[in-house]
Structure 1
């Protein structure tokens, strides 16, 4: 069975997205690559509860106002993508995992240095596309 994950596209009024640079540790997947904030489900957790918990743990940010944007069926996992407007200077956001946070406009995203297949997610986001699961579960 595939594991379940959640990630969130935090976007500011300039239509930039917040990414974090993963730690440069050879024992972790995709070391030293850019990533969308997120994490893995705990037992019995809903996608919404997972993303809220993960963002409190990783960047001390309450994302309970986010909305589900898309669902991706990757070869290794099912990924629930959330979306939320957010404005803060990257250097003022506490970061408990990774090297740094940075805002990126679409044309500045390091497309060849993204972790976990998130280049597909971000290209869809900027193109205004949403992905749905087999049950048509994404709404809005």
Structure 2
């Protein structure tokens, strides 16, 4: 199913982004963002996805971004909801992760991992690659808690 959501920036130049909740066996694939102070949510766990390109629908954008970031093709992303704030208009999709995380090719971020519902509730997750616990991005935690509660 395709959606034709408006992708123009709002008058405040808020960007439109499409993000993926990829789930497998009750856990959620997340990206540990790079620890670069100039990016949004540095050194935090967040969703795969990103900014929409001109003329791109959110569904097209989430598919493109996930391929670019981990070389995984989402066949049929299901629209979950939209979260708006002063930072972004977030189009959230969900889909099953149908391969082992060992088959993914991380192209962006410091690490990736499957996050449990308990990790989401605690707001933090262990990074195997860094050998340390890192927090979830606050908005990502909120979205996942809503997703868990609606499932």
| Residue in structure 1 matched with residue 18 of structure 2 by the alignment | 6
Q: Per-residue displacement from partner, 1:51-85 (whole Å, max 9, x unpaired)?
A: 11111111111113111111112222110000101
Partner of residue 42, structure 1:
53
- Structure with higher RCO (Cα < 8 A, 6+ apart): 1
1:71 to 69, 73, 82: 82
What CA deviation, in whole Å up to 9, does each residue of 1:88-135 have, x standing for no partner? Answer: 332331010001110011002351522261121011001017xxxxxx
- 2:108 alignment partner in structure 1: 97
Give the Cα separation in 2 of the matches to 1:16 and 1:101. 12
| RMSD across aligned positions (CA) | 1.6
Which residue is 1:128 aligned to?
150
How many residues in Structure 1 have an aligned counterpart in Structure 2?
128
CA offsets 1:3-61 (integer angstroms, 9 cap, x no match): 1011010001x210001100112222221110111100111110011011111111111
Using the alignment, how far apart are the partners of 1:69 and 1:25 within structure 2? 29
Structure 1 runs of 4+ aligned residues shifted over 6 Å read none
* Cross-structure match for 1:133: none
5+ residue gaps, structure 2, are: 1-9, 125-134
Instruction: Give the structure 1 partner of residue 33 of structure 2.
Output: 22
Equivalent-residue separation in structure 1 for 2:71 and 2:46 (angstroms): 17
**Structure 1 or 2: more strand by fraction:** 2
**Residue pair 1:91, 1:101 contacting (<8 A) in 2 also:** no
